[in-house]
Amino acid sequence: MNFAKTAQRIAKVLKAGIPKTWDGKQSILDMRDNGCRNWRQMEWIGFFFQFLCEQKLTKIMEVPGPKYGNVRFDAFCEIPWDFKAHAINTSSHDIIVNDSEAIAGAIKQYGEVGVILALGKVDYNDEERTFQKWHQSLKGKKSKYELDRIKRGAWSRLRKVTFDLQQISFIRITDETLIKSGSFQSDFRNADGTPRRAKLLIDLEQLDEETVTFVEF
């Protein structure tokens, strides 16, 4: 497989088909009204990008992608792909990708997997948390995640209210990438005490050769 050529083909479709500015309220309503089950999620940006990709890329990719154990990739086009979104005006450059074992299994079968990463600038909720209150009212009740947070007395994070898309990068993940990357939630446990499966954690600042192509907006 020629990763760069496949990425360029995908990029051409996305460049022509998805908006540059994403309004949080409208994005959540679009997901809800089109049957996307993730419209209730707090981190709506990543789910909205997945929603857009699933709408625009079905002619050139299989959506969803292959499954490894209980973990499914977002799409398949010569190799398995995942869709991710990340804010560039934050201090963190880490991206949580997918289940580490599933990625290793896919690499063993196909030699590599790909990540399609939307990068943009975000605006956050005001001090009155207007957007958060609107989203909560739309959902009708507090989620289990929110109830657990309140029970723990944890701080409620400010919600992202807009996303201004700057570029889409295509990241090639191989065994070499796994070696120099970390893991996320490997020491975490579920509510029943069972350990959570580790997810691949990649630092965007360490990715040079892996980022083959990108498209600017």
For 88-158, strand residue ranges (E) read: 94-99, 113-124
Count of structural domains within the chain: 1
> What is the pTM for the complete model shown?
0.86
Q: How far apart are CA 82 and CA 74, in angstroms?
A: 5
Beta carbons of 140 and 40 less than 8 angstroms apart:
no
pLDDT 10s digits, 175-184: 888 887 766 5
pLDDT at 7: 94
pLDDT 10s digits, 37-93: 999 999 999 999 999 999 999 999 999 999 999 899 999 999 999 999 999 998 888
Q: Which domain holds residue 212?
A: 3-216
3-state secondary structure of 117: strand
- Cβ count near 98 (within 10 Å): 22
pLDDT at 61: 97
Place of tokens 């948390």: 129
Averaged pLDDT, 194-211: 74
Average pLDDT, the chain: 86
